[in-house]
Amino acid sequence: MPKIIISRTLIFLISIGLSYLLPVIYQDIVGFLLILSIGVIHGANDLLIIKKYTRKDSLKSQINHFLYYLGIVFLGFLFFYAFPSIALLSFVLVSIYHFGEQHWESNSFNTNLYKGKKIFPIILHGSTFFLVIFINNIDVVNDVLASFNSIFLDYSVLETLLIILFSIYMLMLLSFELFRRYFIGEFLFFLLLYFLTMNSSLIYGFSVYFIFFHSILSIKDQVSYIYEDDKSQYIKKYLINALPYLLLALFFLVGFYFFVDIESINILPIIFTFLAAITFPHVIVIEKMYSTMK
């Protein structure tokens, strides 16, 4: 059995075991800590990536890139304020592509699977992930949707859609020789993800995928792109450069804890709005990074 399947299985089994041992409140704490540490780090060096592919390293260029990036984040917040339901749908659709892209870029690295050949597994992987998360957290998801003035999701409709899309996904992997080697890994991946999300909170289940099967893989690819190598000294440089953003996130978390009455508000809409606003420019940067790596 390939090492990647073994490592994924071990991560899932440990995460599933913890979900049975930890009460929901502690699952959420673990999830938030993972997202606000490794999750923040994986998107903290976007400006370095921009400098790499634009090949402009003057102070003026870096300031301009920072302002453009910040402007897109600000527009993301305005988008959620003005059109919350449309913005939330946009966030999910963008995330479907982004998560699927990262998964397949890492899954098929150094193979002859170009973007045109990967677009369908990219979309199907991302869609299956969100359907699994939504189905096993339907009540919480509908509470979040209500806060964004969006429509409610029906469990039976999601279940039917999951069966159809997952069947198409598996048949596609089996039908084409280029993808056949990935069938067992993908089938086992989503089987274990389903068991994890059945017994975990929304934040915990999402964070396990987001950190171990997205952020860490993205960091590895980013280090290789920025420094043209992924040796330990370059990973260290990457982390040092991301440190100010991590400290800022922790400062925000501490301030939020002390100055906001968490028990009186629904924190999930705030979290998703924040994640969406910073995701929009990040997805653009990573897409450009992968396109210039070819």
Instruction: Say what percent of the chain tops pLDDT 70.
Output: 90
Which of 17-26, 39-48, 139-148 is most confident? 17-26
Q: Taking the CA atoms of 103, 106, 109 and 114 in sequence, report the sign of the dihedral they define.
A: positive
Instruction: Determine the pLDDT at residue 20.
Output: 93
The mean per-residue pLDDT over the stretch 62-73 comes to 86
Q: Of how many residues is the chain composed?
A: 294
* Helical ranges in 1-137 per DSSP H: 3-21, 24-34, 40-42, 46-54, 59-82, 84-107, 115-135
| 2 three-state secondary structure | coil
How many CA atoms lie within 13 Å of 188's alpha carbon, on the beta-carbon side? 17
Transcribe 122-179 into DSSP letters. Answer: HHHHHHHHHHHHHHTTHHHHHHHHHHTT-PPPPHHHHHHHHHHHHHHHHHHHHHSHHH
Q: H/E element holding 260?
A: none
Instruction: Determine the pLDDT at residue 64.
Output: 86
Q: How confident is the model over 152-199, as pLDDT tens digits?
A: 999 999 999 999 999 999 999 999 888 888 999 999 999 999 999 998
Instruction: Say what percent of the chain tops pLDDT 90.
Output: 48
Residue 114 has pLDDT above 60, yes or no: no
Q: How confident is the model over 242-266, as pLDDT tens digits?
A: 888 778 767 766 666 666 555 556 6
Alpha carbons 178 and 107: distance in angstroms, whole number:
12
Asked if residue 149 lies in contact with residue 172, where contact means CB atoms within 8 angstroms, the answer is no
Q: Where are the beta strands (DSSP E) in 191-249?
A: none
User: For residue 111, what pLDDT band results from cuts at 50, 70 and 90?
Assistant: low
Alpha carbons 104 and 143: distance in angstroms, whole number:
31
Alpha carbons 239 and 233: distance in angstroms, whole number:
10
User: For residue 235, what pLDDT band results from cuts at 50, 70 and 90?
Assistant: very high
